[in-house]
């Protein structure tokens, strides 16, 4: 275990995934490339191990898992809920609290805002889309401490446990990294695929968006606005939905809130903003050398082009040999697994 267990994004690169998980490594890579990433820092996978060992949670989890039939663990969600409670019933050790408090204070000072709202996000070494938690609009030391522990506890969600069981990975021991980063004051958020996922056409980009934070796209509770952009001609094909709700900050967290009536049937992304998303996608493709599946946010505190922020990118997946119906379902599945809850 390394002594240093907190790294700022600019200290990381895509090769740091074994140190901090894939999401944090990508945030570091994008930061180093000069891309518009919200500032923040990462807790290493060793921090998880240290917490589990020092608090005794590791031994409690091992004992519980050893006493339960493996098939029961993967089939009955009550077991994974119990293990999560084991983890979440422990607090960060005091020396770890001091280190997190110091770095969170640095982030607040950097932005110039005390008790800065942050996102606390899971970052797995192995990708398990949608399996682990992200918490948004977290404010103050105590809430940051609590949500870090809850992110670690989410490595035992039923979905995460089932994934590990089916892939021959350890059920009781799965260290993950954690990202702590400024929450963007989101006008709108969404995902962008820099290649058409159904056809593999790299000249076509797909964008989906909703007002507010990205959970408004991933949750599936509303139908987002949908855009297909021709990267050569700039032509935009738009399908604008009626968006009655969006996810916005609310206290120390987020909630679904009503969209103002006059905005419900309007496009939440302007043509100029879509063009900025295309430029961002091209920069990401250059940085990573392949098509990307991108999480983006427009910050209402800034004007274009400075308002666009990228909060994650990953290689885009392309359906092969699918008929039209299964292609459409593939696209839906891809978009629903895209924003904020990915590892």
Sorted by where each starts, the structural domains of the chain and their CATH numbers stand as: 6-182 (3.30.1490.20), 186-336 (3.30.470.20)
Residue with more model confidence, 251 or 266: 266
Rounded to the nearest integer, the mean pLDDT of the chain is 89
What is the pLDDT, as a whole number, of residue 2?
54
What is the pLDDT, as a whole number, of residue 218?
65
CB 309 within 8 A of CB 36: yes
- Reference 81, options 179, 163, 154; nearest CA is 154
With 90 as the cut, is the pLDDT of residue 219 above it?
no
With 90 as the cut, is the pLDDT of residue 54 above it?
yes
Q: State how far Cα 12 lies from the chain centre.
A: 17
- 337 pLDDT band, cuts 50/70/90, is very low
- Reference 138, options 121, 157, 155, 156; nearest CA is 121
With 80 as the cut, is the pLDDT of residue 331 above it?
no
Residue with more model confidence, 113 or 199: 113
Q: State how far Cα 259 lies from the chain centre.
A: 23
**Is pTM beyond 0.95 here?**
no
- 343 pLDDT band, cuts 50/70/90, is very low
With 90 as the cut, is the pLDDT of residue 136 above it?
yes
What is the pLDDT, as a whole number, of residue 86?
97
Residue with more model confidence, 327 or 285: 285
pLDDT in tens, 273-313: 999 999 999 999 999 999 999 999 999 989 999 999 999 89
- Helix boundaries (H) for the chain: 17-20, 22-32, 45-55, 57-66, 70-75, 77-88, 94-111, 140-153, 158-166, 215-218, 271-288, 324-336
With 80 as the cut, is the pLDDT of residue 216 above it?
no
Q: Which of 37-51, 127-141, 215-229, 258-272 has the lowest mean pLDDT?
A: 215-229
- 336 pLDDT band, cuts 50/70/90, is very low
**DSSP label at residue 304:** T
Instruction: State mean pLDDT over 227-255.
Output: 93
With 70 as the cut, is the pLDDT of residue 1 above it?
no
Give the C-alpha separation, 49 to 160, whole Å.
17
What is the pLDDT, as a whole number, of residue 197?
87
What is the pLDDT, as a whole number, of residue 335?
43
């Amino acid at each position: 275990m390394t002594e240093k267990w907190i790294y700022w994004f600019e200290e990381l690169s895509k090769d740091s995934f074994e140190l901090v998980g894939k999401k944090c490594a990508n945030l570091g890579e994008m930061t180093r490339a000069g891309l518009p990433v919200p500032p923040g820092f990462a807790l290493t996978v060793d921090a998880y191990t240290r917490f589990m060992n020092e608090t005794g949670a590791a031994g409690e989890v091992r004992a519980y898992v050893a006493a339960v039939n493996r098939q029961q663990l993967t089939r009955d969600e009550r077991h994974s809920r119990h293990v999560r409670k084991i983890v979440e019933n422990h607090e960060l050790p005091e020396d770890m609290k001091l280190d997190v408090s110091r770095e969170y204070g640095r982030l607040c000072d950097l932005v110039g805002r005390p008790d800065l709202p942050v996102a606390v996000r899971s970052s797995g070494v192995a990708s398990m889309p949608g399996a682990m938690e992200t918490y948004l609009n977290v404010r103050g030391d105590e809430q940051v401490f609590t949500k870090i522990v809850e992110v670690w506890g989410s490595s035992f969600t039923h979905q995460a446990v089932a994934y590990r069981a089916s892939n021959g990975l350890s059920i009781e021991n799965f260290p993950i990294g954690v990202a702590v980063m400024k929450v963007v004051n989101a006008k709108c958020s969404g995902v962008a695929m820099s290649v058409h996922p159904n056809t593999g056409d790299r000249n076509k980009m797909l964008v989906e968006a909703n007002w507010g934070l990205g959970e408004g796209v991933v949750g599936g509770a509303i139908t987002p606005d949908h855009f297909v952009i021709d990267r050569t001609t700039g032509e935009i094909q738009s399908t604008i939905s009626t968006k009655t709700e969006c996810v916005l900050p609310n206290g120390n967290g987020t909630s679904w809130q009503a969209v103002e009536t006059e905005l419900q049937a309007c496009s939440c992304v302007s043509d100029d903003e879509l063009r900025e998303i295309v430029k961002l996608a091209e920069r990401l493709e250059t940085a990573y050398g392949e098509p990307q599946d991108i999480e983006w946010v427009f910050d209402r505190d800034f004007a274009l082009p400075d308002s666009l922020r990228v909060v994650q990118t990953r290689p885009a997946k392309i359906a092969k040999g699918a008929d039209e119906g299964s292609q459409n379902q593939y696209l839906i599945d891809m978009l629903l697994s895209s924003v904020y809850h990915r590892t």
